[in-house]
Amino acid sequence: MRPSQAPTIRLSEYTAPAFWVDTVDLTFKLNPTATRVISKITFKGNTDRTNGPHDLQLDGRNLKLITASINGKPLKDDEILQDTEGLRIPHDLVPQDNFTWEAEVEINPEGNTALEGLYMSNGMYCTQCEAQGFRKITYYPDRPDVMATFTVAIEGDSPVLLSNGNKVKHGKWHDPWPKPAYLFALVAGDLVSYDDQFTTMSGRKVDLQIFVREGDQDKCAYAMDALIRSMKWDEEVYGREYDLDLFMIVAVDDFNMGAMENKGLNIFNSKYVLASPETATDRDYELIEGIIAHEYFHNWTGNRITCRDWFQLCLKEGLTVFRDQQFSGDMRSHAVKRIDDVLQLRSRQFREDAGPLAHPVRPEEYIEINNFYTATVYEKGAEVIGMLKLLVGDAQYDKALTLYFDRHDGQACTIEDWIAVFQDATGRDLSQFKLWYSQAGTPRLKVTDSFEDGVYTLNFEQSSAPTPDQDTKNPQVIPVRTGFLNADGSETISEQLFEVTKAKQSFTIDGFDAKPTPSILRGFSAPVALDFPQDDTTLAFLLANDSDPFNKWEAGRTLSMNLLTRMILKGATPDDAFLDAMRTVVLDENLDPAYRSLTLSLPSEDALAQAIVDTGKTPDPDAIYKARKALALAMAKKTANDLPKLYASMSVDGAYSPDAKAAGKRSLRTKALSLLTKLEDDAATARAQFANADNMTEQLSALSILISAGHGADASAAFYDQWKDDKLVIDKWFATLASSAVPETALEKVTALSEHPEFTWTNPNRFRSLIGPFAMNPAAFHRADGKGYKFVADWLIKLDAKNPQTTARMCGLFETWRRYDDNRQALIKAQLERIAGAPNLSKDSSEIVGKILGA
Ligand code: B3K
Ligand code: ZN
């Protein structure tokens, strides 16, 4: 039998299954503690496999087997070899061609606190099967390359009984599209639906339903609108039509992640469905739109074409993230979306790539696959697609995607299939490009330039630091969009796309009258760390003149990063040139408010810590916190006379609307309020905004600003009192109190919050709302006595016993520990070792903590 210790699964060891599955019939007899699952599965031998005869090996975890039979013949106990991971029937009992397996198992949804498989959330039954939750429902070859059609019957008292596909009758479902088991879903509960309809491009009518708890129907309109826009966009931009009579979304309160793309029955964390102006922020609306689109887009990139094995996860996730980013850009502003995406990429993926959890976009081994739903697989995976599109051009990209859908519909595919499609469609050799999938780490691109006799030369040098398991790296294909500016700020020649493919490579362009100012890596055309020192005067020039919105913003960001680094390491004070540049942004009414808001935002404390590490120094979280605060104060003083006007002019009249334009104004208004409050002893403007706000964006931003300013006590109490019956808003209350708390007292505050009766920590949203924001408040988390680390470790150990998946993900909060001084490192290490040594630690957390420790 299989070893009981968690094994390492390797891509190189992939073998096709011995048996395929044609059809699956499931009957669920629902009961909170003893649900019966009756399965009838038709198998057929995989004729490509020769080294038979084969045993029947089925995955299964936490299942109580009641009966099993093959072709109607009951199997005796001693004919079924069971262990904790599944069962095996010896080959002499298994027909090697076609046969029917039937089994009845019992499971306990109420006892399932890991929220994987069939579980209960506030009295409602729901499922989460990706990646390997189906094996907690019944015995099955639980791997994505086994695709089958499912018929499901649900017996239970609930008025709403849902599963995938088309509805046959109440509680009976048939999904005509073959799918892997990870896309199976079941929901049963006392739910109501918010309905609409969509007519597809070929004229078919599709019913759309969002299922929520009674009382929440009035918070579904935005999600429905986003769904309809997504369906239309996928038809228009990718030619993809929906393929069932019905598309359903269910909102669930207890969920380990954002949402899940189960075929025809998406299950969502309720925070990414429910929204009203009073209870959801602009950011919530934006995320709802993006996540609804993401899950819907999976219907083609993920469901119709799925992954052969879990190593290929980026095949569906990278592509689907890329598609949702395109969609959000089309719906809102491409410039703002790109900056937001790069900020995310740097803060999550570059951080991951620089630390002990670094892994390639397509990992080559894992212990627990749930640990690989990472920023690298998702966000870097999307960047790789963006580069591919840039390199082959828009028309060739469209051609390749059409070929991908035509060639692979209904299949479980690999990255090799994906690359082959692009090679075949475009005739381009992508063998070097493919390194983006296998090499971990963020390439560094060092650039120098020179000018002589009208010839301008750019010299590129790429390198990549060793990452765990990969000491040496080969040069990758790095597309570098570059513009050239005249002294008056105009473009000298049209933008160039340099394809850097060698370790060292130069490009020359002649015909310049004078040395141009280059604008390198426009649009952040490759996920690399650009090393091209430009002085403050040049950066200010680019901030003022660059026609590429990303690099314009980037110039401002580099200016503030450089200044803050000087303040932290050398005790410099804010200089007038910087403050003047920021004041120009405050006053520039020709720029989009959302864009101005982004430009006025200072780099996060975490980003500054990494920047200091990059200079070879050790970051001091207190010094970083103080420098940021001092710079914000200097900006406030510089613009003291402008802020009241900016604040007033950004107020949005009329009823609240979450559209990008209105949200952008509110965002800039918040920036103005935050600066203004630094100049007011009594925080009067923020207090007034808090008291008068008619929407959550303005109420919550005022609360956060008041807390940061040390004036938040009354507002916090009032906020709690007003919203105590709304779980999602109370999550925001916990999160804001933890993230905005001033470092000196933050630990005391969050400790008290962790004892609050509403800190229902087994709910993942609530747990993440308190522990996550505290650990992302660096000066608080990294307090020198180590008590911040202990607080977080205590909670992680406690949660691991209930919910390994959420715990393991949050262990990543410690991934940057080697950045810090010896004293802090020792304190963190001690806590990591405590977690690693906790009795019965899950394999999820043990894999992550082991890697972080470097074990
Ligand atoms: N595919 C799911 C994520 C599943 C995570 C499993 N631990 C959501 C998404 O990416 O759309
Ligand atoms: Zn996804």
- Position 146 scores a pLDDT of 98
Ligand nearest to the CA of 322: 2
Query: Please, which pLDDT band fits residue 297 given cuts at 50, 70 and 90?
Result: very high
Contact assessment for residue 218 and residue 200, using Cβ atoms and an 8 Å cutoff? no
Q: Which of 281, 343, 284, 821 is closest to 604 using CA atoms?
A: 343
Mean pLDDT within 574-580: 97
**268: buried, middle or exposed (CB in 10 Å: 19+, 13-18, 0-12)?**
buried
Q: Which of 17, 61, 7 is closest to 366 using CA atoms?
A: 7
CA angle 355–358–359, rounded 5-degree value: 175
- How many Å apart are CA 795 and CA 800, to the nearest integer? 9
Percent of the chain with pLDDT over 90: 98
Ligand 1 closest atom vs CA 369: 7
Q: Which of 266, 345, 270, 359 is closest to 311 using CA atoms?
A: 359
Spell out the residues 6+ positions from residue 437 whose beta carbon is closer than 8 angstroms to its own.
314, 360, 361, 362, 384, 415
Report the separation in Å between the CA atom of 130 and the middle of ligand 1, taken as the mean of its atom positions: 6
User: Which residues line ligand 1 at a C-beta cut-off of 6 Å?
Assistant: 130-131, 257, 259-261, 294-295, 298, 317, 370, 373
Query: Please, which pLDDT band fits residue 51 given cuts at 50, 70 and 90?
Result: confident
The 10s digit of each residue's pLDDT in 230-284 is: 999 999 999 999 999 999 999 999 999 999 999 999 999 999 999 999 999 999 9
457, HSE (Cβ side, Cα atoms, 13 Å): 9
- How many Å apart are CA 697 and CA 689, to the nearest integer? 11
Among protein residues, the one whose CA lies closest to atom 3 of ligand 1: 260
Q: Choose the residue to mutate in 136, 261, 291 for probing ligand 1, maximizing ligand atoms within 8 Å of C-beta.
A: 261
What are residue 246's phi and psi, to 5 degrees? -145, 140
Is pLDDT above 60 for 31? yes
What are residue 416's phi and psi, to 5 degrees? -60, -40
Among protein residues, the one whose CA lies closest to atom 8 of ligand 1: 260
Structure tokens at 642: 């402008």
43: β partners: 21, 99
Is pLDDT above 60 for 3? no
- Position 488 scores a pLDDT of 97
Ligand nearest to the CA of 130: 1
Q: Which of 443, 317, 435, 444 is closest to 381 using CA atoms?
A: 317
- How many Å apart are CA 774 and CA 738, to the nearest integer? 5
Report the separation in Å between the CA atom of 258 and the middle of ligand 2, taken as the mean of its atom positions: 9
- Say whether 491 is catalytic: no
Give the DSSP H/E element, type plus range, for residue 149. Answer: strand 148-155
Query: Please, which pLDDT band fits residue 212 given cuts at 50, 70 and 90?
Result: very high
The 10s digit of each residue's pLDDT in 796-849 is: 999 999 999 999 999 999 999 999 999 999 999 999 999 999 999 999 999 999
The 10s digit of each residue's pLDDT in 769-808 is: 999 999 999 999 999 999 999 999 999 999 999 999 999 9
Measured from the Cβ of residue 72, the count of other Cβ atoms closer than 10 Å reads 8
Ligand 1 closest atom vs CA 298: 11
Report the separation in Å between the CA atom of 135 and the middle of ligand 2, taken as the mean of its atom positions: 21
Ligand 1 closest atom vs CA 370: 7
The 10s digit of each residue's pLDDT in 77-106 is: 999 999 999 999 999 999 999 999 999 999
Spell out the residues 6+ positions from residue 76 whose beta carbon is closer than 8 angstroms to its own.
none
Ligand nearest to the CA of 185: 1
Q: Which of 68, 84, 64, 60 is closest to 2 using CA atoms?
A: 84
CA dihedral 686, 690, 695, 697 (to 10 degrees): 50
Mean pLDDT within 506-534: 97
Among protein residues, the one whose CA lies closest to atom 7 of ligand 1: 370
Structure tokens at 124: 């409602």
Provide the CATH number for the domain formed by 724-855 in this structure: 1.25.50.10
382-411 residues labelled b (16+ CB within 10 A) or e (exposed): bbbbbbbbbbbeeebbbbbbebbbeebeee
Ligand 1 closest atom vs CA 378: 10
Report the separation in Å between the CA atom of 247 and the middle of ligand 2, taken as the mean of its atom positions: 17
Ligand nearest to the CA of 269: 1
Is pLDDT above 90 for 855? no
- How many Å apart are CA 95 and CA 853, to the nearest integer? 48
What does pLDDT average to over the chain? Answer: 97
Residue type (1 letter), 106: E
Ligand 1 closest atom vs CA 131: 6
Question: What 3-state class would DSSP assign to 690?
Answer: helix
Among protein residues, the one whose CA lies closest to atom 5 of ligand 1: 130
Is pLDDT above 70 for 692? yes
Query: Please, which pLDDT band fits residue 5 given cuts at 50, 70 and 90?
Result: confident
Structure tokens at 554: 């980037």
Report the separation in Å between the CA atom of 417 and the middle of ligand 2, taken as the mean of its atom positions: 19
Is pLDDT above 70 for 4? no
- Position 829 scores a pLDDT of 98
**73: buried, middle or exposed (CB in 10 Å: 19+, 13-18, 0-12)?**
exposed
The 10s digit of each residue's pLDDT in 492-501 is: 999 999 999 9
User: Domain extents for the chain?
Assistant: 1-190, 724-855
Report the separation in Å between the CA atom of 64 and the middle of ligand 2, taken as the mean of its atom positions: 32
Quick check: do 1-190 and 724-855 share a fold? no
**742: buried, middle or exposed (CB in 10 Å: 19+, 13-18, 0-12)?**
middle
Is pLDDT above 50 for 208? yes
Mean pLDDT within 694-721: 97
Contact assessment for residue 805 and residue 796, using Cβ atoms and an 8 Å cutoff? no
The full 3-state SS of 470-536, as one line of letters, equals: ECCCCCCCEEEEEEEECCCCCECCCCEEEEECCCEEEEEEECCCCCCEEEECHHHCCCCEEECCCCH
Spell out the residues 6+ positions from residue 722 whose beta carbon is closer than 8 angstroms to its own.
none
Q: Choose the residue to mutate in 128, 129, 130 for probing ligand 1, maximizing ligand atoms within 8 Å of C-beta.
A: 130
The 10s digit of each residue's pLDDT in 525-554 is: 999 999 999 999 999 999 999 999 999 999
Ligand 1 closest atom vs CA 291: 11
Report the separation in Å between the CA atom of 278 and the middle of ligand 2, taken as the mean of its atom positions: 29
Mean pLDDT within 150-174: 98
Ligand nearest to the CA of 316: 2
323, HSE (Cβ side, Cα atoms, 13 Å): 32
Measured from the Cβ of residue 128, the count of other Cβ atoms closer than 10 Å reads 26
Q: Determine the topology of domain 1-190 in CATH.
A: Immunoglobulin-like (2.60.40)
Mean pLDDT within 410-433: 98
The active-site residue out of 261, 295, 317, 352 is 295
Mean pLDDT within 407-420: 98
**203: buried, middle or exposed (CB in 10 Å: 19+, 13-18, 0-12)?**
exposed
Report the separation in Å between the CA atom of 269 and the middle of ligand 1, taken as the mean of its atom positions: 12
Measured from the Cβ of residue 39, the count of other Cβ atoms closer than 10 Å reads 20
What are residue 260's phi and psi, to 5 degrees? -140, 135
Residue type (1 letter), 66: I
- Position 244 scores a pLDDT of 98
Among protein residues, the one whose CA lies closest to atom 1 of ligand 1: 260
- Position 561 scores a pLDDT of 98
Q: Choose the residue to mutate in 132, 317, 376, 379 for probing ligand 1, maximizing ligand atoms within 8 Å of C-beta.
A: 317
Is pLDDT above 70 for 2? no
Query: Please, which pLDDT band fits residue 1 given cuts at 50, 70 and 90?
Result: very low
